[in-house]
Amino acid sequence: MIRLTVTPVAREFGAEVGGVDLSLPFDATVLADLIGAMDRYAVCFYRPGRPMPDNGHIALGKALGPIDTNPVFKITGRKKTRVPIELQDVANIDENNDVMKEGSRVILFRRGDRLWHSDMSFHPNRAVYSLLSAHEIPPAGGDTEFCDLRAAYDALPDATKAKIESLVAVHSIWYSRAVAGFPDPTEEELASRPPSRHRLVQVHPGSKRKTLYLASHASHIEGWSEDEGRVLLKELKEFATQGRFVYRHHWQLGDVVIWDNRCTMHRGTPYEDTRYRRDMRRATTREMALSA
Ligand code: OGA
Ligand code: MN
């Protein structure tokens, strides 16, 4: 029987998976192994050596959970994307296949991914797994970092755990964009995605471990003054992103990194994004089969 190989990178966070061609249909044993590895290590990368075709990428995503094809927000002026509707286009390449220019609203938007975040926390129907596939990588920079929110929760002082146990954070894509220097959202943008609310402490379904649920999209704590909430969120983010909780992925062409958004945050790191091409495409599974 063909089994998935799982090689941890360090501790209990991050692993390389392989031994099976994940771009072809695979059996239930492999899927169970993959979900088991995800539940334990939260970030798994697969290194086939060449970019996965979009259809194989989408099929892998769909094997892991429902994919919603409704747009989650609007970026004013953004043209049709280059990829099938099941994927998110997170490249710096425009519809004419050129590197985007400085000042492009889409480039400014993408730079917001350099803040620690969890995908789609700004949506009531959160992202579960993100599967990011590297079709073109820049010659330098552009690594992606991940932090372990279960280990960070475990390491919090008991008094902090008690204080935050039942708090709810409010998340907005337009808040994190403003922090990252994106211009004021247009009416169309604002209306396309109102804020969402999520518990700050959650139980991770696959491992039953407690986890923080945090993102730069979180603007404040419900029922607290804005300032107080922001201070708490900043402290928790700083605590959770200490080096001891972080895995940094250095991309090779074709890598597919899968992460569980329910118990991790991630961020892009800088590269010369108006000079070098970086073509990354993301399949994203969602908590519920139908979006709100
Ligand atoms: C994403 C993301 C960061 C990166 O695709 O969700 O945040 O390094 N990407 O491309
Ligand atoms: Mn992201």
What is the DSSP-derived secondary structure letter of residue 65?
S
The domain that holds 269 is classified in CATH as: 3.60.130.10
| Domain housing 204 | 5-286
Count the domains in the chain.
1
Q: Tell me the C-alpha to C-alpha distance, in Å, between residue 82 and each of 41, 78, 143, 204.
A: 32, 11, 23, 34
Is the pLDDT assigned to residue 78 strictly greater than 90? no
Nearest ligand for residue 280 CA: 1
User: Checking phi first, is residue 141 left (phi over 0); if not, alpha (psi -120 to 50) or beta?
Assistant: left
Give nearest CA residue, ligand 1 atom 2: 113
Position 53 in a domain? yes
Note the pLDDT of residue 99. 97
Q: What is the mean pLDDT of residues 1-30?
A: 94
pLDDT of 77 reads 85
Determine, yes or no, domain membership for 61. yes
Answer yes or no: is 260 within a domain: yes
Q: Give the pLDDT score at 2.
A: 82
Ligand nearest to the CA of 267: 1
* % of the chain residues with pLDDT over 70: 99
Cα–Cα distance, 181 to 259 (Å, whole number): 26
Question: Is residue 155, in this structure, part of any structural domain at all?
Answer: yes
Quick one: which ligand is closest to 271's CA?
1
Least confident residue range of 75-84, 206-215, 283-292: 283-292
Atom of ligand 1 nearest to the CA of 143: 8
Q: Percentage of residues in the chain with pLDDT exceeding 90?
A: 92
Q: Is the pLDDT of residue 96 over 50?
A: yes
Alpha-carbon dihedral 207, 208, 209, 214, rounded to 10 degrees? 90
Ligand 1 centre and the CA of 223: distance in Å?
31
Residue 233 scores a pLDDT above 50: yes
Domain for residue 23, yes or no? yes
Q: Which atom of ligand 1 is nearest to the CA of 117?
A: 7
- Which ligand 1 atom sits nearest the alpha carbon of residue 90? 5
pLDDT digits (tens, 9 = 90+) for 131-169: 999 999 999 999 999 999 999 999 999 999 999 999 999
- Does any ligand 1 atom lie closer than 6 A to the CB of residue 110? no
Per-residue pLDDT band at 79 (split at 50, 70, 90): confident
Indicate whether 285 pLDDT > 90: yes
In a domain, 291, yes or no: no
Residues 6+ apart with CB under 8 A from 204: 39, 150, 210, 211, 260, 262, 263
State which ligand 1 atom lies nearest to the alpha carbon of 269. Answer: 8
Of 158, 123, 85, give the one whose Cα is nearest residue 291.
123
At 28-39, the pLDDT tens digits run: 999 999 999 999
Please give the pLDDT value at position 223.
Answer: 98
The answer, yes or no, to whether residue 48 has pLDDT greater than 90, is yes
Residue 60, domain member (yes or no)? yes
Cα(40) to centroid(ligand 1), Å: 22
The per-residue pLDDT of the chain, averaged, comes to 95
The response to whether residue 268 sits with its C-beta less than 6 Å from ligand 1 reads yes
pLDDT given at position 14 = 98
Is 1's pLDDT higher than 80? no
Please report the pLDDT score of residue 80 as a whole number.
75
pLDDT computed for residue 10 by the predictor: 85
What pLDDT shows up at residue 292?
Answer: 41
pTM (2 d.p.): 0.97
Centroid of ligand 1 to alpha carbon of 230 (angstroms): 24
Residue 128's φ and ψ, nearest 5 degrees, are: -100, -80
Residues around ion ligand 2, judged by CB within 5 A, are 119
Note the Cα 48 to chain centre separation in Å.
21
